[in-house]
Amino acid sequence: MLAKNIAFLRRELGELGDIVSAALRTRAHTRLPTVVCPACPEPYIQTPRDPSQRPEMTAAIPCWLSALTLALTLLVLSAREGAALFLPDSNELRQLLSRYQDDQNSTDNTAGSRTRRAIQWTDRGELLQLHNKLRGGVYPTASNMEYMVWDDELERSATHWAEECQWEHGPKDLLMSIGQNLAVHWGRYRSPANHVQAWYDELVWATTSRVGCAVHVCPRMNVWGEIWENAVYLVCNYSPKGNWIGEAPYQHGRPCSQCPPSYGGSCRDNLCFKGDSQRSETEDMNEVEKAQIPMSPRTTAKPVPRPKPKPAAPKKPSTPKAPTSTFLAQNIKCETKMRDKCKGAACNRFNCPANCQNKKGKVWGTLFYDVQSSICRAAMHYGIINNNGGLVDTTRKDKFPFFVKATKNGIESFSKYKAGNAFVVAKVERQSVDCYATMVEICPFKKPYSNCPRVFCPANCKNEPSYWAPVVGNSFYTDSSSICRAAIHAGVIQAGGGYVDVLALDKKKSYVGVLKNGIQSESKSNPVGGSFRVFAVRE
């Protein structure tokens, strides 16, 4: 099977020697490079067969090929934690890259030229065709291989990194959610088909369906200690990333027989294909929301006279109301979306029911989830809770650029390649405290709000003296107040102790002291520090 794959790829891979030969053929290095294998005990010295020939440059040689005399000029460095696809050679690819080399030469002495895209519009189709041709021709045939499409966000991120001219993966904060291929070219070329066996899994990762590339000619580039001049640097970013440990790159079977439901049964060139028609979206849409069609204006009708309003009954003077919410943790369903819940500091803790594993609530993203995701199933996807349910803390985030799909803990999430409001999930910690513990010590307020642990108060805190365990305020308490005595004062727990949910808040202008549940609280004006509230815990 492996031999057939290599034979197929060799048939598709040609000689890439004249990709940049017009610009680079006259270049020569007289030093003999030393190539170090990370896992090899001794450096591998590359020696030319004919001393009269100039040495060829290569940036890395895998340890399992160290016995061969290779002189490579195409270097591909695949991200260890991401799906990286090999860039195949072909006549089309040679012509494409040579155009960029020619463009670089023609614009070196031109001032005031307009900055253009790192990959021309006309070249996108050629790159995609090269990727999809290899993906659709794997053997054994793939039943779930997805058609690869171009992604502008991935192209922009690749452009920014290519312009850095650094021979390493980056930027680091982006590698968590994408795969990346790096390639640099200089000197003469020999076929890269020897790399195919090592990169086979990454080459045919079924769910890696989006790509964005950039080409940049670096005047001087440090490639593992060697300075390469006018190096053609290629950066390709891929999403969703794959190469997960323990998972097969694709499923064997009849082509397109196991495509994800979102493809609707469509197939092109042995690849799961969604079609060309896409609905229009407005800027403020959250990607999965259906665009609203503007209604045509209605014809005006004769205005109907409004009935005279009844005189309103005199209102009683209003008095400030104490907070009515008894519980911080809200009971929700498996399908409840984050966007359906209230916003604010008091809307960040949820109690998920059991048996959400096979429910219909969808999840978009990994690590960062779209607000239209099911809260409980996102928490299961992240690993905060299991199918037995439990408590989940959430934190809303500003617009996230895109969301990447992944299958984790039995939950399959979806991708969304448009900015949208996001949230993250966290485990609710439990902490035992004494009668003197304060919010300043265990959970000080931080904007916009803090996720505090669920605390367990001991018995007999009611009888502690106020100078050791003070209580300042009513319903809202200063963060220097005793948490447990404030909970007794608010009626959240009895004198016997128990669990309490606490919510850290910003400071208040003043606090009023009252006698409640056997505890006299204090009053204070213009205090220093934050405040907090206490909530009962459902048994």
For residue range 12-22, what is the model confidence (pLDDT) as tens digits? 444 333 433 33
Could you tell me if 49 and 177 lie in one domain? Answer: yes
Could you tell me if 194 and 92 lie in one domain? Answer: yes
Could you tell me if 421 and 531 lie in one domain? Answer: no
pLDDT tops 60 at residue 478: yes
What's the CA gap between 239 and 156, in Å, rounded?
A: 13
Domain termination site, one of 410, 427, 444: 427
Tokens 């003999």 belong to 32
Least confidently predicted of 162-166, 218-222, 226-230, 534-538: 226-230
When the pLDDT of each residue in the chain is averaged and rounded to a whole number, the result is 71
Q: Which residue has the higher pLDDT, 407 or 230?
A: 407
Tokens 């090269």 belong to 130
| Helix, strand or coil, per DSSP, at residue 35 | strand
Residues in the chain: 539
Decide if 169 is inside a domain: yes
Decide if 321 is inside a domain: no
Contact of 485 with 471, CB cutoff 8 Å: yes
Could you tell me if 126 and 244 lie in one domain? Answer: yes
Alpha-carbon Rg for the chain, nearest whole angstrom, is 32
Contact of 497 with 456, CB cutoff 8 Å: yes
How many separate helices (H) and strands (E) can be counted in the chain?
10, 27
Residue 146: which CATH number? 3.40.33.10
Domain termination site, one of 228, 247, 272: 272
pLDDT tops 50 at residue 362: yes
Least confidently predicted of 26-40, 73-87, 317-331, 474-488: 26-40
Contact of 211 with 179, CB cutoff 8 Å: no
| pLDDT at res. 486 | 96
What's the CA gap between 403 and 534, in Å, rounded?
A: 35
Tokens 């009269």 belong to 52
Average pLDDT over residues 341-350: 76
Decide if 317 is inside a domain: no
DSSP 8-state secondary structure symbol assigned to residue 346: T
Least confidently predicted of 49-53, 394-398, 406-410, 518-522: 49-53
**Residue partners of 370: CB distance under 8 A and separation at least 6:** 286, 287, 288, 364, 400, 403, 416, 420, 421, 422
CA 444 to chain centre: 29
Structure-block tokens of residue 76 = 């591909």
Of the chain, the percentage scoring pLDDT greater than 90 comes to 28
Could you tell me if 444 and 406 lie in one domain? Answer: no
CA 296 to chain centre: 40
Give the model's confidence band at 114: pLDDT under 50 very low, under 70 low, under 90 confident, else very high: very low
Could you tell me if 482 and 353 lie in one domain? Answer: no
| pLDDT at res. 212 | 84
| pLDDT at res. 283 | 36
Could you tell me if 9 and 29 lie in one domain? Answer: yes
- Alpha-carbon separation of residue 219 from 21, 232, 286, 347, 461 (angstroms): 16, 9, 42, 54, 72
Contact of 497 with 461, CB cutoff 8 Å: yes
Give the model's confidence band at 325: pLDDT under 50 very low, under 70 low, under 90 confident, else very high: low
What's the CA gap between 388 and 355, in Å, rounded?
A: 6
Decide if 514 is inside a domain: yes
Query: Using CA of residue 60, residue 66, residue 71, residue 77, what is the dihedral sign?
Result: negative
Could you tell me if 13 and 67 lie in one domain? Answer: yes
Which region holds residue 97: left if phi is over 0, alpha if psi is between -120 and 50, else beta? alpha
Terminal Cα-to-Cα distance of the chain (whole angstroms): 59
Q: Which residue has the higher pLDDT, 159 or 98?
A: 159
Give the model's confidence band at 245: pLDDT under 50 very low, under 70 low, under 90 confident, else very high: low
Of the chain, the percentage scoring pLDDT greater than 70 comes to 62
Could you tell me if 39 and 87 lie in one domain? Answer: yes
Contact of 198 with 243, CB cutoff 8 Å: no
Q: How many CB atoms lie within 10 A of CB 302?
A: 5
Decide if 136 is inside a domain: yes
| Helix, strand or coil, per DSSP, at residue 195 | helix
Decide if 515 is inside a domain: yes
Sheet strands (E) in 330-387: 330-331, 349-352, 365-366, 368-370
| Global confidence as pTM | 0.43
Contact of 501 with 537, CB cutoff 8 Å: yes
Domain termination site, one of 370, 395, 427: 427
Give the model's confidence band at 61: pLDDT under 50 very low, under 70 low, under 90 confident, else very high: very low
Structural domain span for residue 126: 2-104+121-272
Which region holds residue 225: left if phi is over 0, alpha if psi is between -120 and 50, else beta? left
What's the CA gap between 344 and 350, in Å, rounded?
A: 13
Residue 420: which CATH number? 2.170.130.20
pLDDT single digits (tens) 492-527: 999 999 999 999 999 898 999 999 999 999 999 988
| pLDDT at res. 24 | 34
Domains in the chain, number: 3
Could you tell me if 477 and 393 lie in one domain? Answer: no
Could you tell me if 58 and 182 lie in one domain? Answer: yes
- Alpha-carbon separation of residue 529 from 374, 440, 472, 523 (angstroms): 36, 8, 12, 15
pLDDT tops 70 at residue 85: no
What's the CA gap between 161 and 171, in Å, rounded?
A: 7
Structure-block tokens of residue 483 = 């948490």
Decide if 114 is inside a domain: no
Q: Which residue has the higher pLDDT, 438 or 24?
A: 438
Could you tell me if 386 and 444 lie in one domain? Answer: no
Contact of 403 with 366, CB cutoff 8 Å: yes
Decide if 60 is inside a domain: yes
* Cis peptide bond upstream of 171, omega within 30: yes
